[in-house]
Structure 1
Amino acid sequence: MGMVIGLVALLVTLGAVIAAAGHAGYLAMLTSAAKKRPGGQPAADFAKKRYPIAGVGLGVTLLALLIGTGDTVGADVFATLLGLGGGVGSLKALQSTQSRFRKGEF
């Protein structure tokens, strides 16, 4: 039973890290593209304001991944919950960033 919970914790935390890294990567690409275009400075500034959110999400999910490497079931459950929260938060932040950028609300 403990092995199954450990595997679930690993999969959840890896998915969360991928979601958080995706948000950070999207912001990096947005900043890079905005700096290359004339008049793109507002978009670059918008992305710069969102970096702390992406950093916190990535930090939380990496912490969950680190906690999930423990041998106890309690640590795996905590890592799963922490990773799930961080991953969902990062995914929502990415969707919010994309929708605000597409609407031009920056």
Structure 2
Amino acid sequence: MGTIIDVIAFVVTLLALLAALGHAGYLTLLATAARKRPGGQPAVGFARKRAPVAGTALGLGLLAVLLSTGGVVPDVFAILLGGGVGVGSTHALRSTQQNFRGGRY
């Protein structure tokens, strides 16, 4: 039973970490591209404003991965934390993409 929970915790936390990395990477690419364009300062400001959210999610994702190396109880906490980080990062990435697809910046 413990092995199954270990595998589930590892997969959930790994996916959460990838989602957090995706959001942070998207913001980095967005800010880099906006700096090269004239009039891109609002996009750079937006990326800077969202960077703490992405950094926090990345840190919590790393914490979840570290928790998943423990026993059954830490694995359950890692699954819960990883699930929250994954859902939050995915939602933040989608909202960031919608802001720039809609032409707000």
**Normalising TM by the smaller chain, what interval?**
over 0.9
Say which SS state the counterpart of residue 86 (structure 1) adopts: helix
> 1:22-79 CA deviation, whole Å, 9 max, x = no partner?
0000000000000011111111111111101101111111111111111x11111110
Shift of 1:100: 1.1
Gaps of 5+ in 2: none
Matching residue's letter, 2:65: L
Paired residue for 1:29? 29
Paired residue for 1:91? 90
Shift of 1:83: 0.3
Matching residue's letter, 2:73: G
Gaps of 5+ in 1: none
Paired residue for 1:53? 53
Check if 1:66 corresponds to 2:66: yes
Q: CA RMSD in A?
A: 0.9
4+ runs deviating over 2 angstroms? none
Q: Work out the percentage of aligned pairs sharing the same amino acid.
A: 60
TM-score by length of 2: 0.96
Matching residue's letter, 1:26: Y
Paired residue for 1:78? 77
For residues 45 and 103 of structure 2, the distance between their equivalents in structure 1, rounded to whole angstroms, comes to 13
Shift of 1:103: 1.5
For residues 68 and 105 of structure 1, the distance between their equivalents in structure 2, rounded to whole angstroms, comes to 40
Instruction: Give aligned pairs, total.
Output: 105
Paired residue for 2:4? 4
For residues 26 and 77 of structure 1, the distance between their equivalents in structure 2, rounded to whole angstroms, comes to 30
> 1:4-37 CA deviation, whole Å, 9 max, x = no partner?
1000000000000000000000000000000011
